[in-house]
Amino acid sequence: MAKNNNNIVIVFDFDKTIIDVDSDNWVVDELGFTDLFNQLLPTMPWNSLMNRMMKELHDHGKTIEEIKHVLRRIPIHPRVIPAIKSAHDLGCELRIVSDANTLFIETIIEHLGIGEFFSEINTNPGLVDEQGRLIVSPYHDFTKSSHGCSRCPPNMCKGLIIDRIQASLTKEEKTSKMIYLGDGAGDYCPSLGLKAEDYMMPRKNFPVWDLISQNPMLVKATVRDWTDGEDMERILMEIINEIMSSEEGEENDKMLSSENCKISVGIVHEPIQVPLNLVK
């Protein structure tokens, strides 16, 4: 296994990015509660609605194991897992930033055998209480304070999470390049916080791609869109190879520069006149 390459951090959204559907909708639909979900949808924020739906499932006798069984059947493109494994094997650090919840995500990635590849999962807490009911809490407790971002849902600003990750890398004096993959409107805010040396991979014809397309100049990062898992794998590998090749070139330049300095020190014993055309 390759050692961790701190110079490349890949951040994945989860729903409709790693998996092909929305995990919240998948559970609700598969367990037969779509009508109630649609009825309640206009009345409360999504995160609050999912907590309410978990209560309804529990009240109707649905167990956590039934929920997990449904989650293990969730559709995923066959090239997504190889893409994640390849990125990890190349030494990239992988993280998840998602508006789903911990129980859903952990159940799915453990079932797929990719849980060990992610160093961090940022999502809404999903904890099972003593009665066996899943409690879905907000990542940011908006009942106490606002996160202050008007673009994002009240329970989570992914842009603030990316800011924190970037700040932690800066604090550790890591010159990391970030690759962000996402599909939803909630992935637009973090795309605006990416630096010029970063990469944004929006899923084509999905909300975040539409938002970026309205004014591409607002995103400083290089934008590479993708359509499905096969496309994701190809483009992600291309970007990783680009970054690694660029870094190898920089290292070679440094080594050549260092060797030239050593040679000069070793053979020159008196001042020499450097031609003006060689001065930067």
Q: Over the stretch 80-116, which tens digit does the pLDDT of each residue have? A: 999 999 999 999 999 999 999 999 999 999 999 999 9
Residues 113-116: contacts with CB under 8 Å, at least 24 apart: 113/81, 114/81, 114/84, 114/85
Residues 13, 22, 198, 231: which is the catalytic one? 13
Residues 15, 187, 198, 231: which is the catalytic one? 15
- 187 has catalytic annotation: no
Statement: the pTM of the whole predicted model exceeds 0.85: yes
Parallel/antiparallel/unpaired status of strands 92-101 and 199-202: unpaired
The predicted structure's pLDDT at residue 140 = 93
Average of per-residue pLDDT across 156-164:
97
Q: Over the stretch 172-198, which tens digit does the pLDDT of each residue have? A: 766 789 999 999 999 999 999 999 999
Parallel/antiparallel/unpaired status of strands 222-223 and 126-128: unpaired
The predicted structure's pLDDT at residue 3 = 44
List binding-site positions for Mg(2+): 13, 15, 183
pLDDT band with cut points at 50, 70 and 90 for residue 69: very high
Q: Over the stretch 17-30, which tens digit does the pLDDT of each residue have? A: 999 999 999 999 99
With a cut of 80, say whether residue 254 has pLDDT above it: no
Q: How many CA atoms lie within 13 A of 268 on its CB side?
A: 11
Tokens 């009825």 belong to 39
H helices present in the chain, as ranges = 23-30, 34-40, 46-59, 64-71, 80-89, 102-112, 158-171, 188-192, 207-214, 229-267
Tokens 């992610």 belong to 118
Lowest mean pLDDT among 39-43, 65-69, 74-78, 259-263: 259-263
Q: Give dist(CA 219, CA 189) in Å, integer.
A: 10
**pLDDT > 70 in the chain, percent:** 86
- 13 has catalytic annotation: yes
Domains detected in the chain: 8-21+77-248 (3.40.50.1000)
If phi > 0 it is left, if psi is from -120 to 50 it is alpha, else beta; for residue 171 that is alpha
Q: Which two tokens stand for residue 252?
A: 């070679």
